[in-house]
Amino acid sequence: MKLIRWSLAMGAGLLLIIPGIWWWRWRWLEHSQDRVIQAAARRYGMDPALVKAVVWKESRFNPKVVGKAGEIGLMQLMDPAAQEWAEAEHVYPLADEGLFSPATNTMAGTWYLRKVMQRYRRVDDPVPFALAEYNAGRGNVLKWAVGAAATNSEAFVRTIGFPSTRDYVRSIQRRRDRYRGDFPK
């Protein structure tokens, strides 16, 4: 009988410990790329909380992840965007394995995100437009940005034709708000 009680107590203890370990690991992982994110954001004049939210959505902070379409690393960069950054920064040609480097990938991805955001200077908030383009491409954004949605970010988000892209934009914006405290000014 004592063995059964001991076994039950140990099992209950493990049920309490395992979630705690998982939570601790996630909190560590969630902050594992903060330095490279902050460096890239500072270099390109971007909000580090936004960059971190994109990294979270794209890779969950795993620098070795490869997407189904060949996207690489923390910010899930495609080769053409990475090579464009490499040329602009005079580090061309960029080897594919370079995109697995958290610092390189985050620099290139942040540069690209800033470039995309600059296309939407005449809107009330360029972030949703840039995120939609980062996810679904410029051609789709141009199709969705008509009428009031051409300059109003809330109207634009409602007109996004792909539910997955609409969710992508909204989830990154929510996560950005959560990460603002991680990067004091």
Active site residues: 58
User: Is-contact 77 109, C-beta < 8 A?
Assistant: yes
Nearest to 60 by CA among 26, 16, 105: 26
Give the CA-trace dihedral at 150, 152, 157, 160, to 10 degrees.
-10
User: Is-contact 124 153, C-beta < 8 A?
Assistant: yes
Q: Which amino acid is residue 177, in one-letter code?
A: D
Secondary structure class of 135 (helix, strand, coil): helix
10 Å Cβ neighbour count for 33?
23
d(CA 57, CA 12): 34
Query: Which tokens is 34 given?
Result: 């903060």
